[in-house]
Structure 1
Amino acid sequence: MRFLIVSLFINIFIFGVSYSQPEKKEIDKEIKKLEKLRTEVQNLIKRNEEILKKIEEEKSKLEKERKEFEKYVKEVEDERYKKLAKVFEKMEPELAGQKISNMEDPKKAAYIIFNMKERSAGEVLNYVSPDMVNQITKILTDIKKNAK
């Protein structure tokens, strides 16, 4: 667009090209069309910038809601593990150890042990399989590192 306008002005002013009246009218028409197109493009840019701003606001709002949701899920999980720990504390240590040894996810077992009283956890771990104890110990070490 600018190129056309500039080239027309260069032809008119620098080279001293004289145009007849019909040619001048045609050039003026083209200039008006180009100016109209320029304003339309500027309006489109403004609208798109507004839309982009709204999208960014929604994105930040969604990110905030996601963080709040993750926090809520963590709180629910923590509460669940605390309740499970109480249940395991009330079991006989041998039975609790067998149950923990049979768990598929050592992370869940570690969180249950983590939420138990130390004395009960020690008694239960005496009856847990050595492989599971090693996995639980690694996870508990990481949990305690992250807590600090």
Structure 2
Amino acid sequence: MGAKQVDSVCPIARAVDIIGDKWSLLIIRDAFDGIRRFSQFQRNLGIAKNILTTRLRDLVDAGILSIEADSAGGAYREYALTDKGLDLFDLMTSLRQWGLDHAFAPGEPHATLVDATTGEPIPRMTYTTPGGGVVEPARTRVRRPTD
């Protein structure tokens, strides 16, 4: 990760350059789950301090997290998702759905994304075409700027 920039017309390559490592994705996951302090990230992830420091700095530099004063008024700094970070919700939900489909044995316990008000599981996320049909891989293609 870091300040490098992929010279590519591919949005996936650019996104992976910014957030495409395990620790960054898990930090973002934890931020969505309400974790805000360095010590909380470290404890929850079991990550080395130097790696966490680097990943948090990179996510702040990328505009995904911001550094804020401690919400309790203490001397600590807290990390909060920015609007750019909140825009990663669909990606994180897609990864969650893929993990549920392919990373657990049938009947194996797993975390579930639920509605904060009702406690009901969130329905599977799907994408639709402008005409209302389901987007399917076989019915899509990538249009490059040179096409």
Shorter-chain TM-score range: under 0.3
Structure ranking higher in strand proportion: 2
Instruction: Give the TM-score normalised by structure 1.
Output: 0.24
**TM-score scaled to structure 2, two decimals?**
0.24
Structure of higher RCO (CA pairs closer than 8 Å, 6+ residues apart): 1
Structure having the higher Rg: 1
More helix, by proportion: 1
